[in-house]
Amino acid sequence: MTIQVGDRLPAGQFGVMGTDGPESLSTEELFGGRKVVLFCVPGAFTPTCSARHLPGFVDHADALRERGADTIACLAVNDVFVMSAWGKAGGADGKVVMLADGNGEYARALGLELDASGFGMGMRAQRFSMIVNDGVVTQLNIEPAAGDVGISSAEATLDQLG
């Protein structure tokens, strides 16, 4: 079943790159007591994700924080090394937390998995954004197609934050 507005996020773990290498970050650590803007891309270093989705959140990070976001995080079904490299390449350091869902377990838990086997990418996550307040989804924007960046964009998220 797909996550809905008003639902509490399922418990889970993400991979993040720490100063000494890969670390684990729990959903409680990320979402507990905070307002988090979470956006998800089908794949790091893919054309739409690299040219349109991640850059918007990097460019608008200060404005998102000014409107109440404590944390901005990007999720993808990639390993922690790829997410770290992509974040560095995209200028996300210090602006967007790069979350690895290496096996797609969290995407499945949200009911937002995407079969990209036809593109040689296997199981991934759908493109979406959400605003989460203390672990509860208050806004959810699922793109109708993986290549679309409209309702899940940083600009749309800014409007939702008010």
Q: 125 with 75: CB under 8 angstroms?
A: yes
Q: What angle do CA 25, 120, 44 make, to 5 degrees?
A: 35
Q: Spell out the domains of the chain, with CATH numbers in brackets.
A: 33-161 (3.40.30.10)
Summarize pLDDT for 76-89 with one digit per residue, the tens.
999 999 999 999 99
CA dihedral 147, 54, 124, 137 (to 10 degrees): -100
Q: How many CB atoms lie within 10 A of CB 103?
A: 12
Nearest to 27 by CA among 16, 19, 43: 16
Give the integer Cα–Cα distance in Å for 56 and 18: 24
**Residue from 16, 30, 38, 49 carrying the catalytic annotation:** 49
What's residue 115's pLDDT?
Answer: 67
Q: Nearest 5°: phi and psi at 133?
A: -115, 110
Rounded distance, CA 131 to CA 70, Å? Answer: 11
Give the pLDDT score at 120: 66
pLDDT digits (tens, 9 = 90+) for 108-150: 999 999 766 777 676 778 999 999 999 999 999 999 987 788 9
pTM for this entry: 0.94
Separation CA 92–CA 142 (nearest Å):
22
* pLDDT for the residue 143: 93
Q: Is 49 a catalytic residue?
A: yes
CB-based contact 124:105 (threshold 8 Å): no
pLDDT tens per residue across span 58-108: 999 999 999 999 999 999 999 999 999 999 999 999 999 999 999 999 999
**Strand, helix or coil at 112?**
coil
Beta bridge partners of 115: 123
